[in-house]
């Protein structure tokens, strides 16, 4: 069958589908891949990896949006508190304050424009080189997520998939780090994204999982009816097996969740 490619962000998917003549509630299935491509990591000019020297860019679509702020713009312009918040929120970085302080001190001497500059700054804040080797991929991830507004894009993509899938249609969502997976999980369980993830929300998820095993489509939470519009295909998230990781080491953190629209 004919394949038609539509280039755009998740937030542009609804407009792109509409312009292509696709009506809401008509799709049989949606595969949503929230990951980056290996090409982006392997091309130093994209600035996605601190292991290779290149411009501190990290924009997903710099050719189409040349005026979009880069990671260099972020680390050179934001104050220490904002930088620490980005590292902590999007990278779950324990040393966020220390790293943010080091960035602010370094940029007072020279502008931070290269990936290896940032790598050296971050390395200097950690206790020893082995700790740096274990953790060096966390910080560029947080900057990349912020620069590209990835979590918001993911949520809009999920909402668009829900709108355009027909009842009985299948959504398959693939994520590569805990923040993405958390958004997908909460979305499929009908939990408000503004609700703090605590014991109460975990209880709602457990209750939803129990109800998924029932043959009827009723799904209630401790606080009443659930907002979930999905039936989980499998209770537990799917992760790569050893042979998968051996074939594709970069996929070791992948998590797959699938559900049927009610």
| Each residue's pLDDT tens digit, 190-220 | 987 665 544 444 454 455 555 555 534 434 4
Least confident range from 49-63, 80-94, 120-134, 142-156: namely: 120-134
| Angle between helix 80-91 and 138-148 (nearest 10) | 100
- CA separation for the pair 197, 192 (Å, rounded): 10
Average pLDDT, the chain: 85
| Model pLDDT, residue 1 | 65
| Model pLDDT, residue 194 | 65
The pTM for the full model equals 0.83
| pLDDT level of residue 92 (50, 70, 90 thresholds) | confident
**Residues facing 174 on adjacent strands:** 33, 256
| Model pLDDT, residue 42 | 86
* Nearest CA-CA partner of 227 in 197, 260, 258, 186: 186
| Model pLDDT, residue 13 | 97
**Residues facing 32 on adjacent strands:** 173
| pLDDT level of residue 222 (50, 70, 90 thresholds) | very low
Fold of 62-148: DNA polymerase; domain 1 (1.10.150)
- Say whether 140 sits in a helix, a strand or coil: helix
| Each residue's pLDDT tens digit, 35-76 | 888 888 888 888 888 888 999 999 998 888 889 999 999 999
Least confident range from 148-152, 159-163, 206-210, 244-248: namely: 206-210
- CA separation for the pair 71, 63 (Å, rounded): 15
- 10-33+152-261 and 62-148: same fold? no
Name the residue ranges covered by the structural domains of the chain.
10-33+152-261, 62-148
* Nearest CA-CA partner of 10 in 150, 206, 210: 150
| pLDDT level of residue 164 (50, 70, 90 thresholds) | very high
Least confident range from 89-93, 100-104, 120-124, 214-218: namely: 214-218
Give the architecture-level CATH label for domain 10-33+152-261: 3-Layer(aba) Sandwich (3.40)
| Model pLDDT, residue 189 | 92
């Amino acid at each position: 069958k004919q394949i038609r490619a539509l280039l755009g962000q998740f937030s542009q998917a609804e407009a792109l589908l509409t312009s292509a003549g696709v009506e809401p509630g008509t799709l049989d299935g949606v595969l949503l891949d929230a990951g980056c491509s290996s090409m982006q990591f392997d091309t130093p000019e994209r600035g996605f990896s601190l292991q290779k020297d290149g411009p501190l860019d990290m924009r997903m679509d710099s050719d189409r949006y040349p005026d979009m702020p880069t990671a260099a713009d972020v680390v050179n312009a934001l104050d220490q508190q904002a930088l620490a918040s980005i590292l902590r929120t999007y990278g779950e970085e324990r040393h966020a304050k220390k790293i943010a302080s080091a960035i602010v001190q370094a940029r007072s001497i020279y502008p931070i424009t290269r990936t290896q500059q940032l790598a050296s700054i971050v390395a200097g804040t950690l206790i020893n080189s082995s700790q740096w080797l274990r953790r060096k991929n966390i910080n560029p991830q947080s900057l990349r997520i912020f620069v590209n507004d990835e979590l918001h894009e993911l949520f809009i993509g999920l909402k668009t998939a829900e709108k355009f899938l027909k009842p009985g249609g299948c959504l398959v969502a693939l994520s590569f780090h805990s923040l993405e997976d958390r958004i997908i999980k909460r979305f499929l369980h009908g939990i408000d994204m503004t609700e703090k993830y605590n014991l109460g929300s975990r209880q709602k998820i457990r209750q939803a999982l129990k109800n998924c095993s029932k043959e009827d489509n009723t799904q209630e939470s401790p606080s009443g009816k659930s907002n979930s519009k999905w039936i989980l295909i499998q209770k537990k998230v799917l992760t790569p097996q050893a042979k998968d990781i051996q074939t594709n080491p970069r996929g070791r953190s992948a998590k797959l969740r699938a559900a049927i629209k009610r």
